[in-house]
Amino acid sequence: MSVRVVARIRPLLKNEHDKDTIVTAEPAADANTQDRPTLVRIPNPKKDAESFSFQFSSVYEQEATQQELFDAEIAPTVKHLFNGFDLSIFAHGCTGTGKTHTMRGGKSMAERGVIPRLLSAIYRRSKKTEKDTSGETKVEVTLEYFEIYCDRVYDLFESPDKRTPAGLPIRDNHGKTVVVGLREKPCATLKEFEQIYDQANVNRSTSATKKLNAHSSRSHAILCVKVTQSTESTIRVSRASCIDLAGSEDNRRTDNNKERMVESNAINSSLFALANCVDAINSKKPRIPYRESKMTRILSLGQNSGLTVMILNLAPTRAYHLDTISSLNFASRTKKIEICEIENDPILRTMAKPLATSSSIGGSNIARQPLRPL
Ligand code: ADP
Ligand code: MG
């Protein structure tokens, strides 16, 4: 089991200019021309003559479509889900980089994000499974949808007025973490899914506007799709968890308000816990530290030999420079620094080093400790 980390650079928005683009995708030096790029390049914020490149499993450029991303990264995992494996799909990145666009997407067919496409693929495969077994296997799909805000769990199938401020308790149930009192909704068709999901997203945004700041970008939203395949003698349950993570930007750089600090600490420690789990899984450590935060605990990341895809969303422009470096450091295990010396000098490829060592701008801790203004 490993975590596949892919990067996606969003297109420029109407108010952004081409000349401010600093994040680009590149193929690896040894790649074939038709291969998808695997490197993200960005200048060193401290030294213009240098740039950093970060390696991913794949990099999706500005023009990449929702369908391309889904077909290459998510569609192949659906068969594993039906074979009994769990699946986790994360969208990670700063606020405004395209996480919700990637996961939920727009209204039109072409703009639909990973989540509706995944549900569509699950229903299609359910029908096929039932047909192939002449109705002997029944497939049932149920949903849970909740958010984790400041380490508290709120049910998004419940209207915000009915929420208890302390959130729902979590308990250990034979080694598995469960959220007590979370609603589970059966959902038999894509149409039904769209209604349920849209309503729950209204719940998420209503609670966001009640608070002055954009709460929705400060919480992790987790949709769990439970697929139960049963025959007369067997029952097989697997789960796909789709997570729109809280914005990873460093609030402390811009705002010292107390509520922001509490939010920021909760976000940092849960993203830190997630990074530790991803590292432990990818380096095949025997123990995955999923107990370090509620989010990783509930998702039991790394516990049930599931498949994990992490999509790192990036904005292409200079306005996000430091936060983009910080996200890249979080998500990528290897980094190269290239020093582009003054004209005509050959490009010097300096190093390829793991995150654990520090670089001139702070190395592995950069995502975990706030950057100081430069
Ligand atoms: P986040 O959830 O990370 O805060 P959003 O998904 O809300 O970011 O995206 C920010 C803005 O960028 C939105 O207006 C969204 O429509 C737009 N956007 C993001 N990614 C894309 C994309 N791949 N194609 C077109 N527009 C995008
Ligand atoms: Mg969002």
pLDDT of residue 340: 53
- For a ligand 1 pocket test, name from 101, 114, 245, 317 the mutation site with the most ligand atoms within 8 angstroms of its C-beta: 101
Sequence-ordered list of residues with C-beta below 8 angstroms from that of 18, at least 6 positions apart, any chain: 12
Sequence-ordered list of residues with C-beta below 8 angstroms from that of 154, at least 6 positions apart, any chain: 146, 147, 148, 160, 163, 167, 168, 207
- The protein residue whose alpha carbon is closest to atom 17 in ligand 1 is 98
Question: Residue 196: beta bridge partners?
Answer: none
Q: Which atom of ligand 1 is nearest to the CA of 62?
A: 23
Q: Please provide the size of the chain in residues.
A: 374
- For a ligand 1 pocket test, name from 9, 10, 245 the mutation site with the most ligand atoms within 8 angstroms of its C-beta: 10
Cβ(135)–Cβ(126) under 8 Å? no
Sequence-ordered list of residues with C-beta below 8 angstroms from that of 71, at least 6 positions apart, any chain: none
- Does residue 248's CB lie within 6 angstroms of at least one atom of ligand 1? no
Residue with the bigger pLDDT between 362 and 190: it is 190
pLDDT in tens, 50-68: 999 999 999 999 999 999 9
- Does residue 317's CB lie within 6 angstroms of at least one atom of ligand 1? no
DSSP-based three-state secondary structure for 271? helix
What distance in Å separates the CA atoms of residue 138 and residue 133, rounded to the nearest whole number? 9
In a 10 Å sphere around its CB, with 0-12 CB exposed, 13-18 middle and 19+ buried, how is residue 72 labelled? middle
Asked if pLDDT for residue 149 goes beyond 70, the answer is yes
Distances in whole angstroms, Cα of residue 77 to Cα of each of 144, 222, 231, 287: 20, 18, 23, 24
0.80 exceeded by the pTM? yes
- The protein residue whose alpha carbon is closest to atom 18 in ligand 1 is 98
ipTM score of the complex? Answer: 0.99
pLDDT in tens, 334-355: 566 666 543 334 344 444 333 3
pLDDT in tens, 92-132: 999 999 999 999 999 999 999 999 999 999 999 999 999 99
Sequence-ordered list of residues with C-beta below 8 angstroms from that of 260, at least 6 positions apart, any chain: 213, 251, 252
Spatial CA neighbour of 92 closest among 369, 332, 253, 355: 332
Ligand with the closest atom to the CA of 94: 1
What distance in Å separates the CA atoms of residue 53 and residue 337, rounded to the nearest whole number? 6
Q: How far is the CA of 369 from the centre of ligand 1 (A)?
A: 26
